[in-house]
């Protein structure tokens, strides 16, 4: 195994999240978001010869960080299809799953991927570049109502309607193909005082739509409940409320509406129980890696209750 650190992505809450898995040396684990492989390498260091780690990443660029270790498998796929790919690899039950949600530093910092308003680049935003839907298709082909919904729901932008209207007016004259053209289209509705914050929210909204991120998170959680053994651990790092909320609700209630299902005695029939309080980065980690500042780690243990509840 190589332990060479990667600059592709600095792993957030590395020690805390790997420790939370309570790793058994002979266990089977999943790193749902491989990226630069930082979390995976730390998990492998704690596994014995009989242990196994399967990692997922739908971005083909992550393959450059693969780990030469017979205990390790990298699966180029959306973690929302967790159960199917585990079965294809002969795995039906695992002892723990770690997911570091969101976008990698590599994706943000590669201009031609179009994830950040800080760089001039094509409006792409695909995590998996084999898919056909891009951010350019969204901004040029979605109708005004759909754009407003996306900006409001996924970007939590208060002026979602005016942004959508401005974008539609602009594209009638000029197709919106680049990050700079997108910013030009909405410039009159982005106050200079809040420019970076609002543009980040706008880009986040488009990225979530292009990659179906929230649907994938929900599928991952439901399937994790099916494949993690009783006593196994779930550790999820989130960066904003839209992805944190379903994680919190699912751990607490076993569904995404946060409506607990109870048995005859009033016991909540949830597949997980949280193991402690939310874990956040230290001031030292945030100083070293500013992108960690909004991170939250939620940890839960699989109960012995069936999922979905009978």
Residues 118, 196, single domain; the answer is yes
Last residue in a domain, options 190, 211, 232? 211
pLDDT of residue 151: 98
Work out the pLDDT band at 4, boundaries 50, 70, 90.
Answer: very low
Its domain, for residue 62, covers 14-105+213-302
pLDDT of residue 177: 97
In the predicted model, what is the mean pLDDT of residues 186-204? 95
Residues 83, 128, single domain; the answer is no
Residues 227, 88, single domain; the answer is yes
Q: Is it the case that residue 124 has pLDDT exceeding 60? A: yes
Q: Is it the case that residue 140 has pLDDT exceeding 70? A: yes
Q: In the chain, how many domains are there?
A: 2
9 within a domain of the structure (yes/no): no
Q: What is the maximum span of the chain, computed from C-alpha positions, in angstroms?
A: 64
Work out the pLDDT band at 263, boundaries 50, 70, 90.
Answer: confident
CATH number at residue 161: 1.10.150.170
Residues 25, 100, single domain; the answer is yes
Residues 129, 148, single domain; the answer is yes
pLDDT of residue 7: 62
Of the candidates 136, 206, 133, 142, the one whose C-alpha atom is nearest the C-alpha of residue 175 is: 136
Q: Is it the case that residue 170 has pLDDT exceeding 90? A: yes
Last residue in a domain, options 211, 226, 260? 211
Element (H, E) at 107: helix 105-109
CATH number at residue 41: 3.40.50.150
Residues 272, 230, single domain; the answer is yes
In the predicted model, what is the mean pLDDT of residues 156-184? 97
pLDDT of residue 1: 44
In the predicted model, what is the mean pLDDT of residues 17-37? 97
Last residue in a domain, options 211, 238, 273? 211
In the predicted model, what is the mean pLDDT of residues 235-261? 96
309 within a domain of the structure (yes/no): no
3-state secondary structure of 154: helix
Q: Work out the mean pLDDT of the chain and round it to a whole number.
A: 95
Q: From edge to edge, which strands make up the β-sheet containing 94-100? A: 72-75, 52-56, 28-31, 94-100, 228-238, 296-302, 272-274
């Amino acid at each position: 195994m190589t332990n060479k650190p990667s600059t592709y992505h600095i792993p957030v809450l590395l020690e805390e999240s790997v420790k939370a898995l309570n790793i058994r040396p002979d266990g089977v684990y999943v790193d749902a978001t491989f990226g630069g492989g930082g979390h995976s390498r730390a998990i492998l260091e704690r596994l014995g010869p009989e242990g196994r780690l399967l990692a997922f990443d739908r971005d083909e660029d992550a393959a450059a960080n693969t780990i030469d270790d017979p205990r390790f498998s990298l699966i180029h796929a959306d973690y929302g299809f967790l159960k199917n790919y585990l079965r294809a690899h002969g795995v039906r039950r695992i002892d723990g799953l770690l997911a570091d949600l969101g976008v990698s530093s590599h994706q943000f910092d590669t201009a031609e991927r179009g994830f950040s308003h800080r760089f001039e680049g094509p409006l792409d935003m695909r995590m998996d570049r084999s898919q056909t839907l891009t951010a350019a298709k969204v901004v040029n082909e979605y109708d005004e109502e759909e754009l407003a919904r996306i900006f409001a729901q996924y970007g939590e932008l208060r002026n979602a309607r005016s942004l959508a209207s401005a974008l539609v007016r602009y594209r009638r004259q000029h197709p919106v193909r680049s990050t700079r053209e997108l910013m030009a289209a909405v410039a009159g509705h982005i106050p200079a005082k809040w420019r970076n914050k609002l543009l980040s929210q706008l880009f986040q909204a488009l990225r979530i739509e292009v990659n179906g991120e929230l649907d994938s998170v929900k599928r991952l959680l439901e399937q994790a409940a099916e494949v993690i053994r009783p006593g196994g651990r779930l550790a999820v790092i989130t960066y904003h409320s839209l992805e944190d909320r379903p994680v919190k609700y699912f751990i607490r209630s076993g569904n995404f509406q946060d409506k607990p299902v109870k048995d005859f005695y009033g016991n909540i029939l949830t597949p997980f129980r949280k193991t402690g309080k939310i874990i956040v980065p230290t001031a030292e980690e945030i100083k070293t890696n500013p992108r960690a500042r909004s991170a939250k780690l939620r940890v839960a243990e699989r109960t012995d209750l069936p999922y979905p509840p009978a």
